[in-house]
Amino acid sequence: MASTVQARRPGGPVRQVAGTIAARLPLSSHPTVRYAVSRLLASIGLLFVASIVIFLLEHLAPGSPESVLLGGRPATPQLLAAIRREYHLDAPLWTQYWDWLTGVLHGNFGQSITYKASVSSVIGSRIGATLELGVYAALITTVIGVTLGAVAALRSGRFTDTAISTLVVVLSSISGYVSAIVLLVIFGVKLGWFPILGTGTSGTDRLYHLTLPAIALAISLIALIARTTRASVGRTLDVEFVDTARSRGLSERRIFVKHVFRNSLIPILTVSGLAVGYLISGAVLVEYTFGLNGLGSLLVQAVEAKDYAVVQGVALLFTAVFIAVNLIIDLLYGLVDPRVRIGEVAA
């Protein structure tokens, strides 16, 4: 499985180039610093390329850029001229890109056509719900996924393992939006235990509104984490140091917590980078299903309204978060496994 099902993670060969650049920097004699700097440079490079893709796509859209930027407003000559001026459409493409990028780096993502406000203020008003949903779902995923996987590995081959593994296969086939709809129907519409629309006001009401969406988002990710944990813990349990620890009379609990679990962390970390990606795309679907006022539903509304500045802003933000989280995970490898930072084994 592990060799055929590919993890989608940023990095790869970009890393090697960044590694050679990093080797020439001051302070590079320290392996930890060199590792961190090379990962940082690779991530920045990737984000830069991603921003070019997001920017260029607008210019590939059928019709002239003015008509895209008009977004349904009447095409008066004054408005067209204003748009050409505002977006520097007469300048060469790379100048336009550079203007856009410097704007973005100063927090200026342009103006939203539909909201008649700056994209950054629209994003700012929506980001809270998505952030809370994401953290809530990530907590559920980590706690339940790791527990299920570890229990399955410790009870390998017994009934508990079979039950958990079957559950995992079923859960992994249910995408975020299918589980969202099923939960919505059962607990929202039929039983009426949870609200079916909206984000709620604040505090406990907010938590109450976000519970069902967070569970829906977590379900398919639990399968991913549980599967990885089971495989990883299972592999670690076969390593000789576990027998050594047992022969020294350590308790099973201590062996697991102190020795097995820590040595099983790397694959779990790797896959959690992937999980964050699915968390982001899942959030788009789940927010849409539950009518939450987050960035995901904003993205869908912006796509429908052809509000391209908002699409670019949200897409860039999501991509930046995805790349940043994967960078943090790569740096965490170094903490969990010292061999990674001195370059003995590849992360």
Query: Which residues would be at the binding site for other proteins (CB under 8 A)?
Result: 1, 3-6, 8-14, 46-47, 49-50, 53-54, 57-58, 60-62, 169-170, 172-175, 177-178, 181-182, 184-185, 189-190, 196, 276-278, 280-281, 284-285, 288-289, 299-300, 302-304, 306, 308, 311, 315, 318-319, 322-323
- Burial of 290 by CB count in 10 Å (0-12 exposed, 13-18 middle, 19+ buried)? buried
CA distances from residue 277 to 130, 318, 325 in whole angstroms, order as listed: 14, 9, 9
Instruction: Name which of 181 and 250 has its Cβ closer to other proteins.
Output: 181
Closest approach, Cβ 3 to other proteins, in A, equals: 5
Closest approach, Cβ 39 to other proteins, in A, equals: 14
Instruction: Name which of 8 and 106 has its Cβ closer to other proteins.
Output: 8
Tokens 């927090």 identify what position? 107
Instruction: Name which of 3 and 202 has its Cβ closer to other proteins.
Output: 3
Closest approach, Cβ 182 to other proteins, in A, equals: 6
Instruction: Supply the angle between the helices 265-290 and 176-183 in degrees, to the nearest 10.
Output: 50
Instruction: Name which of 134 and 149 has its Cβ closer to other proteins.
Output: 134
Structural contact between residues 307 and 299, judged by C-beta atoms closer than 8 angstroms? no
Closest approach, Cβ 130 to other proteins, in A, equals: 12
Amino acid at 36: A
Taking Cα atoms as reference points, which of 31, 28, 34, 32 lies closest to residue 15?
34
Closest approach, Cβ 293 to other proteins, in A, equals: 16
Quickly list H helices, 63-202: 65-70, 77-86, 93-105, 119-154, 159-173, 176-183
Instruction: Name which of 127 and 303 has its Cβ closer to other proteins.
Output: 303
Percent helix, strand and coil across the chain, each rounded to 5?
75, 0, 25
